[in-house]
Structures are given as structure tokens and as C-alpha cells.
Amino acid sequence: MSLNCDVRSLQPYYAQCGEIKNRRATYAEMVNAVLCEVRLGKLVVCALYGHPGVFACVGHLSIKQARLEGYDASMLPGISAEACLWADLGIDPGNSGHQSFEATQFMIYHHVPDPTTHLLLWQ
């Protein structure tokens, strides 16, 4: 069994060994790669790890650009990194709740965590 021959990896757009590259440039290149296939008239699926809309701008940006260009585009939910974390750690956040912050925002805005719940800091 192998991947479909039409699969295109977005991995090469990330900075390669020793290369310094702006993340925004990487994401723009990925969006362009997705849209190039759409513009060729192909039916395109952009499969991303975790949930495609959580801490993942490529899905959002690709959909926005596709719609601006008149193409139908939608996002379907996926298994999130957060869901995997609960499963891997064997924790049920329903028992005590949880807090979730982007790490930089957490520091900039001096959020005070509730020590009685789980705290997720995303980077």
C-alpha cells in the first residue's frame, strides 16, 4: 500500500537544515502550493496534523484565498493536539476543567492561572 500518486507534501517549504526562514514566508508558500493545485482544476484536500484550524493558519489562509478567487472551500474538524494530549496523559479535563493559552499571550498579558485546573500553554 502506498500514498496516492497525486499527494504533494508541504514539508519542503519549512526551513531546511541550516536555513533561516520566516514562518510567515513558509506559510505563504504553502498556501500558494495548495492554491496552485486548486487553480489547475483539481479537487484538493489539505490534510494537516491535529485539528486543521487550531494553531494552524495554512488551512484558514488557503480557504480564505480560495473563496476570494471564487472556489468552494471548507474546513472539516480533525483530532486536535489537545485531544491527543489528554489521551496520551490519561487525563480527563472534565474532572477539574482546564485553561488554554498561547504562551506568548499568556506572558504579555500576565494571565494568572487557576492552580486548581490543568494549564495548557501553546507555543
Is 109 annotated as catalytic? no
Active site residue 39: no
Could you give the 3-state DSSP secondary structure of residue 99?
strand
SS3 68: helix
DSSP symbol at 24 = H
Which residue is catalytic, options 8, 23, 39, 67? 23
Q: How far apart are CA 52 and CA 76, in angstroms?
A: 8
* Residue 25 C-alpha from the chain's centroid: 15
Candidates 121, 83, 79, 120; CA nearest to 98 is 120
- CB atoms under 10 Å from CB of 40, counted, come to 8
Options 49, 67, 71, 109, the catalytic residue = 49
The catalytic residues are 23, 27, 49
